[in-house]
């Protein structure tokens, strides 16, 4: 039986922190539901009208009854602009097609036994909403994810529901009691292929502007926006506003399929293989078709997916759980599949060939089949060993292939095409600066956003530039930069003269253009060190010591979770703590060297551990001289 709960806003209004604290003391803890390889219990979807109105469920760990009457709504704080009354929906043809593929087989994953746990997590998450993922210890104090706990009402599941029920209250209390931004939260969106509009950008700017110095936004390493400074009373209004401009945050975090990544130059690149936008948009409907998808919420861990559209491999397929590599078989266009790429604190691995090919029309069925195999067979014990590669290691690739084949709609999965369409000798191009499009008379302009951080005023200006010089569109990249497409050639000079381009330069220095940094401990409770300002500071110090002949990609991450993806960088810096020469504990970093992207991709290894941040610059300069052909400044001056 599928259990559908009242809307998020209704649950939010029905519970106050004081009642929540009382309920946490009285309600017995649920037993562990994280056992391995339990067979799934099918249920029908969509639910019947009788099921939709059910508000009570019984599980193995007791009764959870939602209130039948609601108190008056809580007045919101802040000055969030009211959303427009219209609410856009995906095209009906697309929704019907995806629903038919995903939901008509009866392979439901949201078990009744886990629904009560999910509901308990919702009740806590809707009010407190904090989330962390450091296994084996108490969750850190700091910024949570606004809206994520609330959305579990739509995409609960046995594993997430139980975990949120067991830990959500503790996370919330910690977030409210202390941390870097008391009572402030981050909201992550779904933005397939990194494509956003000026209207959406203005709305997000208006949200963070209302929070003053506490509000800002980040471009992430998955072509996505994260907005910061959000207060929980404002979340329902913000969610309505997101819907009104065609955005959503449903299933954007925790153990879900994360933002689908594609070519940032899709549709405008003269050398592209395929326009990835249509494929990433279809993949986004798997989880975020403005309604959520309960059938794929019981994943053992998060899952990253990308569609490759160019020889440059801007999408970093080697670190995605599922990557679609364009390939032709028997004269028909489709994709070879890579599986299992991931980065985690204890292990990082490159994706491996699945030896499978699907026609371009079948990207959703095979994605669903891989998800089901992972969901049915993946372990749910140690969080450090729950990514899909661990399952592939356990089964072997051939057995995993057969498990995916069993779950294909017709029970058939074709073997891979002999070769994909990627040119292995291709030199990766720089998209920053001005470049001609495939459309005659148009250019795209790539802007460098230092460490991905933008303020409300920046976002308003970006929206204006997109309207005035382009087509009202912006593209986000996994290197935390922004591309303005469809600029008429006669307008390029005027665009380059805009004041904002002094800050977001199309021609940054060789060390700055490859600089990436995660959020750091300014906002993230899991980060050990501050990253964004530190990255800029160390880079400026290194630039005073050496000059480099080419761009060097340097990535910073505040903790071993590696949201900054230090393993793919030429030089990476992972935050830690150490003692300096005086015996004082200070911020430090483990240095990684040797990561590569592109057809000869390689994940970096540790070069030196626990270097105090204040001592990094000369060591980095030495690495650049030894391995990247850098020249010391004093030598340049002497030669001159």
What is the chain's percent helix, strand, coil content, to nearest 5? 35, 20, 45
Q: How far apart are CA 480 and CA 517, in angstroms?
A: 9
Q: Which DSSP string corresponds to 586-614? A: EEEEEEEE--B-STT-B--EEEEEEEEGG
User: Beta strand 546-547 with 473-476: parallel, antiparallel or unpaired?
Assistant: unpaired
CB atoms within 10 A of CB 379: 18
Answer yes or no: are the C-beta atoms of 68 and 55 closer than 8 Å.
yes
- 302 assigned to active site: yes
Q: How far apart are CA 594 and CA 40, in angstroms?
A: 43
Answer yes or no: are the C-beta atoms of 37 and 300 closer than 8 Å.
no
- 213 assigned to active site: no
- Choice among 563, 572, 576, 595 that is catalytic: 563
- Choice among 558, 572, 575, 595 that is catalytic: 558
Tokens of 92: 């009906």
- Choice among 171, 173, 184, 188 that is catalytic: 188
- Choice among 97, 99, 302, 491 that is catalytic: 302
- Choice among 215, 292, 378, 564 that is catalytic: 564
- Choice among 301, 368, 475, 513 that is catalytic: 301
- 558 assigned to active site: yes
Q: How far apart are CA 116 and CA 56, in angstroms?
A: 9
Tokens of 524: 């993230």
Cross-sheet strand order for the sheet of 305-307: 305-307, 322-329, 332-339, 352-359
- 301 assigned to active site: yes
- 563 assigned to active site: yes
Q: How far apart are CA 529 and CA 291, in angstroms?
A: 37
Q: How far apart are CA 329 and CA 596, in angstroms?
A: 29
User: Beta strand 585-593 with 322-329: parallel, antiparallel or unpaired?
Assistant: unpaired
Q: How far apart are CA 179 and CA 140, in angstroms?
A: 8
Active site residue ranges: 188, 301-302, 558, 563-564
């Amino acid at each position: 039986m599928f259990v559908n709960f009242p809307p998020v806003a209704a649950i939010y209004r029905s519970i106050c922190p004081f009642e929540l604290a009382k309920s946490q003391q009285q309600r017995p803890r649920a037993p562990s539901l994280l056992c391995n390889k339990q067979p799934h219990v099918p249920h029908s979807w969509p639910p019947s009208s009788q099921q939709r109105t059910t508000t009570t469920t019984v599980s193995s760990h007791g009764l959870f009854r939602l209130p039948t009457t609601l108190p008056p709504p809580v007045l919101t704080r802040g000055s969030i602009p009211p959303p427009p009354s219209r609410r856009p929906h995906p095209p009906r043809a697309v929704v019907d097609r995806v629903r038919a593929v995903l939901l008509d087989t009866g392979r439901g994953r949201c078990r009744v036994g886990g629904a009560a746990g999910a509901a308990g997590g919702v009740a806590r998450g809707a009010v407190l909403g904090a989330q962390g993922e450091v296994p084996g210890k108490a969750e850190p104090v700091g910024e949570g994810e606004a809206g994520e706990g609330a959305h579990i009402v739509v995409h609960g599941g046995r594993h997430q529901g139980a975990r949120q029920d067991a830990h959500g209250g503790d996370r919330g209390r910690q977030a409210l009691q202390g941390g870097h931004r008391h009572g402030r939260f981050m909201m992550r969106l779904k933005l397939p292929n990194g494509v956003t509009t000026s209207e959406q950008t203005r709305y997000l700017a208006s949200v963070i502007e209302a929070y003053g110095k506490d509000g800002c936004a980040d471009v992430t390493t998955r072509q996505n926006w994260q907005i910061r400074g959000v207060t929980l009373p404002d979340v329902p209004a913000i969610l309505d506003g997101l819907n009104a401009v065609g955005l959503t945050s449903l299933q954007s975090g925790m153990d879900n399929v994360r933002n689908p990544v594609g070519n940032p130059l899709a549709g405008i690149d003269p050398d592209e293989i395929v326009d990835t936008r249509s494929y990433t948009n279809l993949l986004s409907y798997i989880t975020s078709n403005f309604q959520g998808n309960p059938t794929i919420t019981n994943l053992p861990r998060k899952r990253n997916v990308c569609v490759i559209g160019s020889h440059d491999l801007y999408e970093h397929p080697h670190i995605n759980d599922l990557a679609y590599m364009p390939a032709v078989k028997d004269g028909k266009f489709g994709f070879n599949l890579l599986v299992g790429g991931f980065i985690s604190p204890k292990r990082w691995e490159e994706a491996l060939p699945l030896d499978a090919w699907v026609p371009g029309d079948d990207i959703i069925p095979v994605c669903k089949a891989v998800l089901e195999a992972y969901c049915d067979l993946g372990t749910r014990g140690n969080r450090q060993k729950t990514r899909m590669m661990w399952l592939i290691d356990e089964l072997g690739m051939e057995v995993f292939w057969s498990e995916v084949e069993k779950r294909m709609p017709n029970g058939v999965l074709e073997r891979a095409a002999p070769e994909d369409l990627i040119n292995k000798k291709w030199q990766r191009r720089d998209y920053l600066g001005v470049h001609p499009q495939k459309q005659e008379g148009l250019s795209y302009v790539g802007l460098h956003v230092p460490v991905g951080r933008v303020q409300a005023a920046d976002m308003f200006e970006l929206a204006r530039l997109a309207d005035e010089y382009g087509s009202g569109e912006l593209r986000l990249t996994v290197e935390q930069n922004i591309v303005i497409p469809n600029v008429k050639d006669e307008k390029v000079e005027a665009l380059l003269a805009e004041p904002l381009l002094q800050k977001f330069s199309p021609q940054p220095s060789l060390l700055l253009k490859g600089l990436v940094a995660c959020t750091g401990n300014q906002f993230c409770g899991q980060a050990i060190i501050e990253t964004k300002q530190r990255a800029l500071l160390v880079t400026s110090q290194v630039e005073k010591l050496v000059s480099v002949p080419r761009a060097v990609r340097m990535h910073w991450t505040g903790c071993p979770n590696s949201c900054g993806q230090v393993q793919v960088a030429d030089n990476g810096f992972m935050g830690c703590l150490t003692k300096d020469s005086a015996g004082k504990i200070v911020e430090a970093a483990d240095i990684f060297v040797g990561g590569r992207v592109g057809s000869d991709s390689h994940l970096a290894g540790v070069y030196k551990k626990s270097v105090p941040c204040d001592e990094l610059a000369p060591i980095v300069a030495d690495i650049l001289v030894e391995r990247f052909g850098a020249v010391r400044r004093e030598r340049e001056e002497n030669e001159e």
